[in-house]
Amino acid sequence: MADTIQEIRKKKAIQNVLSPVIAILGGLILGAIIMLAVGTNPIYAYAQMFGKSFFTPYYLAQTLVRSAPIMLAGVAAAVAWRAGYINLGMQGQMCVGGLCATLVALYFPVKTPLTTVLCFIVGMAAGAIWALIPTFFDYKFNASLIITTLMLNYATNYITDYFVAYPIKDTAGDGMALQSPQIAEAMRFFRFSKKNAMNVSVFLAIAMVILVYFILKKTRFGYESKITGLNRNFASYGGIKSSKMMFMTMAFSGALCGFAACIEIFGARYRYVNAMFSSTSYAWTGLMAMLIAKYNPILTLVYSIFLAGLSIGGQALQRTVGLPMQISDIIQCCITLFVSVKIIIDFKHKQAPETLAAKGGKA
Amino acid sequence: MLIRMNNITKTYGPLVANDDVSLTLEKGEILAVVGENGAGKSTLMKILYGLERFDSGEILINDAKVDFRSPHDAIAHGIGMVQQHFMLFPPFTAAENIVYAHEPKNGLLFDRKKAVLRTEELSKRYGLQIDPNAKVADCPVGIQQRIEILKVLHQGVDIIIFDEPSAVLTPQEIDDLLQTIRDLKAAGKSIILITHKLAEVMAVADRVMVMRAGKVVKQMSCKDTSIDEMSYLMVGHEIQPREVEKVKSGSTCLSVENLVLSGIGSKKLLDGLSLHTDFGEIVGIAGVSGNGQSELIECITGLKHPDSGMISIAGTDITGKTTADIRKAGCACIPEDRYFSGSASEATLDENCIMGHYEKSELMRNGIFNTRNVRKFASEMMKAYDVRYTSETQEMHELSGGNAQKLIVAREMYQNSPLLIAAEPTRGIDIGAIDYIHGKLLDKRAKGDSILLISSELSEILELSDRIYVIFEGRIAGEFTRENASSEKIGLLMTGGKLNG
């Protein structure tokens, strides 16, 4: 009891800023050691990497476009995790959302920008429904959400990849690529320049993140889900129905994943491509961003851009310095490692809410 | 002397759980340690079993000073503990549980046959019949406890601590347990029995040590005492009742009829409990915790649904309704544990203040909060109840226990509901805050509202209540008016005794 409240708060604030920075620096340093081991100058490599991904227009555009689905997947995870529901099925929810939106885009007779809106609605609904399947199993049979959402990813990959391999496979050109036909030009997002990938999707993603931030901060749903996540006993004592919260939260999370997938399809790829959401690991990068950000949507956005820049920089590195782009994967893994260590430490510090009885409270 | 604990002091923050406590145990003796909840018995035993470290004092075993860093050390010195909450793995068999952590091995492998043999041998030697191959999940609670006892015996200990062993048992199972304790003594074991059921103390113990508020009140031989004396020592001296003005009570507010709620196994947590409260009345429920108080609150507030029985508030049937509906029907509740269910420690003060209130139109419109009004609402509430805080957006855990409790009391009082359930409204807070909260409860009564007061602090019940029920093993064991209540009579019923005449 030596510390005053002000001191505790100050310490906490410093810790909040410092700890993700330390995790990231730790990852970068470990990456530097590995680069040294293979005979590369890490300072030069890092300068190249970040110089490219953040300071040259072509790569910066790539970074931002890549960050859009990452930040949305991250925010989707944050929405669920913060309420205490561990959704690990973002990837599968993106696959289904993306596929369904593509199907509408390909087969809906009218092809206008308004159809794109319809595609987004369908994609979000599909993502939500896909998230509700494991939720239902948890509710009905007590099947752990962590496991079922994770496992469903693998099943989903195969289901969606089947579609682009057979029923909706693009037969134009040589017909070798496993992908759907392109969606009509009228339905694609506006690109600002022919020279780079920059398009509206980035702004839409940022707007969505801000909207989610508002929802979490200012609405009844945000309040109830926060309290549920912090202390489920308190929530139900106050009259919040936990089963309803679980379904709402997971549906919201899944819908955001569907939105993320649509952003990618209508802004960058214009078609559904085999393994487009698994090989790019948007979902996992987003998860990491939100973990570093401690569920804060705005910080998730910032870290998403950073992490996207890291992998775009890695690609640039391969082209210019001749270093394998896996270097950036290694760095990302090192950061993940440091972040997870931090999360485990945090978790050990608080665990379950302490009861008076556990403190030996006086009767 | 087998065990000698000298001048043990243990504090948790500002709370003194054990204050200069000394304890001795001789070989082949059964020592009972009795006291109300929070008197410090459990803390003392946790220290002896190596689960907690003490601040000052010393422990001697066979006159040699020891320093236990974990239960492992305690077991190595021959001290075992039968926990109140069984530490068993339900999917495993009795034998597997009993040998757990001290398994017989066949080379590197677990020797299941030897485990069963060992279990049968122990079971025969101490007369504790069990089926070694039965799954723990399929065993009734009484048998699970036997398994727990055998587990401790398998560790080869000579001193066994029983922590509230009868709390989860049916009366029949309790008889068996008491016989087991006698048999263990006959087999040369020394026993410390923590309990607040005084009839059990009289039935088996040689010596009794009474604790209150972290201190030892008296030690005596069981031959020289009586249940009456012990309960008097446990709950303390008669408290001068606060001058409470009589308010004319009105019609029935809360009515609970024949409530039944089953727990695990055959034990009923609530066993046909009936009570009622009138408007303008504070009704106290006295009892040792764990006799159905929590379950009663959970049933009334809709967190648990009773097997049978009926609950109504001001004539409206609320049985089986959701918590939200029951709150709307006019029931507010100060929960018994402010951190477990009364608040979210990492949420901000205003977020904690608006729980149960936030549907009001000035706080929220179309699902969106009016942040300024929320702040105003929270700060008004906290100021009215003298909560000392620095900002509405600071986190709950930054408040001291007393202030946190005042916030929760304020929040529930602000419901202006006809019925308030006040469970342990002053647990673990300082005298000033206690008096403040008591005053607020009496104000609410003066307004004509009805309060159900549940407290393990008998003095609090006696001071505030117009009428008192005593709860014991899920049933109402007696009812008193303010005039004819006394701590002796209530203490006797609380601990399972009977009133003569």
Residue among B341, B392, B400, B405 with most chain A CBs within 10 A, to mutate: B341
Closest Cβ opposite residue B347 in set A8, A227, A354 = A227
Q: Do A230 and B342 touch (CB under 8 A)?
A: no
Q: How confident is the model at residue B403 (pLDDT cuts 50, 70, 90)?
A: confident
- β-bridge pairing B207-212 and B30-35: parallel
Instruction: Give the DSSP per-residue string, B404-425.
Output: HHHHHHHHHHTT--SEEEEEST
Q: Which CATH number fits domain B3-235: 3.90.1010.10, 3.40.50.300, 3.10.20.30, 3.40.50.720?
A: 3.40.50.300
The whole-angstrom separation of Cα A301 and Cα B173 is 60
Check residue B65 and report its DSSP letter: E
pLDDT at position A6 is 61
The whole-angstrom separation of Cα B28 and Cα B16 is 31
Q: Do B351 and A236 touch (CB under 8 A)?
A: no
In contact, B182 and B174? CB cutoff 8 Å? no
Nearest CA among B130, B149, B129 for reference residue B82? B149
Contacts of A353 in chain B (CB under 8 A): 339-340, 345
User: CATH 3.40.50.300 in chain B, residues?
Assistant: 3-235, 242-330+417-501
pLDDT at position B197 is 79
Q: Does the beta carbon of B457 lie under 8 angstroms from any beta carbon of chain A?
A: yes
Which residue of chain B has the CA closest to A235?
Answer: B341
Residues of chain A in Cβ contact (below 8 Å) with chain B: 1, 5-6, 8-9, 218-221, 223, 226-227, 230-231, 233-241, 353-357, 359-363
Cα dihedral B159→B160→B161→B166 (10° resolution)? -150
Q: How confident is the model at residue B242 (pLDDT cuts 50, 70, 90)?
A: low
Q: pLDDT tens-digit profile of A289-315?
A: 998 888 999 999 999 999 999 889 888
**Residue B449 in tokens:** 């509202």
Q: Do B39 and A233 touch (CB under 8 A)?
A: no
Q: Does the beta carbon of B456 lie under 8 angstroms from any beta carbon of chain A?
A: yes
Higher pLDDT, A96 or A348: A96
Q: Is residue B238 scored above 80 in pLDDT?
A: no
Domains recognised in chain A with CATH numbers: 19-346 (1.10.3470)
Contacts of A226 in chain B (CB under 8 A): 347, 351
The whole-angstrom separation of Cα A256 and Cα A94 is 9
| Averaged pLDDT, B122-135 | 89
According to the 3-state scheme, what is the secondary structure of B181-234? HHHHHHCCCEEEEEECCHHHHHHHCCEEEEEECCEEEEEEEHHHCCHHHHHHHH
Residue B134 to residues A331, B98, B131, B142, B143, Cα–Cα distance (Å): 53, 12, 5, 14, 10
pLDDT at position B264 is 72
**Residue B102 in tokens:** 């001290």
Higher pLDDT, A174 or A178: A178
Q: Is residue A176 scored above 70 in pLDDT?
A: yes
In contact, B364 and B350? CB cutoff 8 Å? no
Q: Do A237 and B368 touch (CB under 8 A)?
A: no
Quick check: pTM over 0.90?
A: no
* Per-range mean pLDDT, top range of A254-263, A343-352, B208-217: A254-263
pLDDT at position A246 is 95
Percent of chain B with pLDDT over 90: 56
Which residue of chain B has the CA closest to A229?
Answer: B344
Q: Does the beta carbon of B327 lie under 8 angstroms from any beta carbon of chain A?
A: yes
Residue A342 CB: number of other CB atoms within 10 A?
19
| Averaged pLDDT, A311-338 | 80
Residue A294 to residues A182, A184, A289, A301, B374, Cα–Cα distance (Å): 38, 39, 9, 12, 25
Size of interface A-B (CB pairs under 8 A): 116
In contact, A266 and A188? CB cutoff 8 Å? yes
| Mean pLDDT, rounded, of chain B | 88
**Residue A196 in tokens:** 């780079």
**Residue A224 in tokens:** 């109830």
Higher pLDDT, B139 or B408: B408
Residue B239, Cβ density class (10 Å: 0-12 exposed, 13-18 middle, ≥19 buried): middle
Q: pLDDT tens-digit profile of B188-204?
A: 999 999 987 788 899 99
Helix axes A57-82, A282-292, angle to 10 degrees: 70
Q: Is residue B268 scored above 80 in pLDDT?
A: yes
Which residue of chain A has the CA closest to B322?
Answer: A239
What is the separation, in whole angstroms, between the first and last Cα of chain B? 44
Q: Do A233 and B340 touch (CB under 8 A)?
A: yes
Which residue of chain B has the CA closest to A8?
Answer: B398
Q: Do A353 and B340 touch (CB under 8 A)?
A: yes
Using CB atoms and an 8 Å cut-off, which of residues 376-435 of chain B contact chain A? 390, 394, 398, 424, 427-428
| Averaged pLDDT, B452-480 | 91
Contacts of B208 (CB under 8 A, 6+ apart): B31, B32, B33, B34, B201, B219, B220, B221, B222, B225, B230
Cα dihedral A270→A271→A272→A275 (10° resolution)? -70
**Residue B223 in tokens:** 């031959």
What are the b/e assignments for A235-263, b being 16+ CB within 10 Å? bbbbbbbbeebbbbbbbbbbbbbbbbbbb
Residue B199 to residues B171, B196, B203, B492, B497, Cα–Cα distance (Å): 12, 9, 6, 10, 7
Closest Cβ opposite residue B327 in set A230, A239, A359 = A239
Percent of chain A with pLDDT over 70: 92
In contact, B244 and B442? CB cutoff 8 Å? yes
Contacts of A218 in chain B (CB under 8 A): 368-369, 371
Nearest CA among A64, A24, A95, A22 for reference residue A288? A24
Which residue of chain A has the CA closest to B36?
Answer: A363
Which residue of chain B has the CA closest to A216?
Answer: B368
**Residue B431 in tokens:** 């005298």
Q: Do A362 and B427 touch (CB under 8 A)?
A: yes
| Averaged pLDDT, B475-497 | 87
Beta-strand ranges (E) seen in A103-193 are none
Nearest CA among A88, A92, A73 for reference residue A157? A92
Q: Do A218 and B12 touch (CB under 8 A)?
A: no
pLDDT at position A354 is 40
Closest Cβ opposite residue B339 in set A227, A353, A360 = A353
Using CB atoms and an 8 Å cut-off, which of residues 126-185 of chain B contact chain A? none
In contact, B299 and B421? CB cutoff 8 Å? no
Closest Cβ opposite residue A360 in set B12, B36, B398 = B12
Q: Is residue A230 scored above 70 in pLDDT?
A: yes
Which residue of chain A has the CA closest to B300?
Answer: A237
pLDDT at position B496 is 79
> How many angstroms away from the CA of B443 is the closest CA of chain A?
24
Contacts of A54 (CB under 8 A, 6+ apart): A60, A63, A309, A313
3-state secondary structure of B178: helix
> How many angstroms away from the CA of B248 is the closest CA of chain A?
31
In contact, B192 and B45? CB cutoff 8 Å? yes
Q: How confident is the model at residue B137 (pLDDT cuts 50, 70, 90)?
A: confident
Residue B345 to residues A162, B170, B349, B364, Cα–Cα distance (Å): 48, 37, 9, 23
CA–CA–CA angle B393, B398, B399 (5° rounding): 95
The whole-angstrom separation of Cα B352 and Cα B330 is 20
Closest Cβ opposite residue A356 in set B322, B338, B345 = B338
Nearest CA among B192, B131, B197, B208 for reference residue B168? B197
In contact, B39 and B45? CB cutoff 8 Å? no
Residue A210 to residues A75, A80, A306, A309, Cα–Cα distance (Å): 10, 17, 18, 21
The whole-angstrom separation of Cα A77 and Cα A88 is 7
ipTM of the complex: 0.84
Which residue of chain A has the CA closest to B348?
Answer: A227
CA R_g for chain A: 22
Q: Please state which CATH number belongs to domain B242-330+417-501.
A: 3.40.50.300
> How many angstroms away from the CA of B39 is the closest CA of chain A?
7
In contact, B43 and B23? CB cutoff 8 Å? no
Higher pLDDT, B307 or A22: B307
Which residue of chain A has the CA closest to B344?
Answer: A231
Q: Is residue A116 scored above 60 in pLDDT?
A: yes
Q: Does the beta carbon of B333 lie under 8 angstroms from any beta carbon of chain A?
A: yes
Which residue of chain B has the CA closest to A231?
Answer: B344
Residue with tokens 């647990």: B427
> How many angstroms away from the CA of B198 is the closest CA of chain A?
19
Q: pLDDT tens-digit profile of B319-363?
A: 999 999 999 999 999 998 888 899 999 999 999 999 999 999 899
Residue A144 CB: number of other CB atoms within 10 A?
12
pLDDT at position A7 is 65
In contact, A189 and A200? CB cutoff 8 Å? yes
Closest Cβ opposite residue B345 in set A226, A353, A361 = A353
Q: Is residue B458 scored above 70 in pLDDT?
A: yes
Residue A4 CB: number of other CB atoms within 10 A?
11
CA R_g for chain B: 25
Torsions phi, psi of B57, nearest 5?
115, -175
Helix axes A42-55, A5-37, angle to 10 degrees: 110
In contact, A166 and A181? CB cutoff 8 Å? no
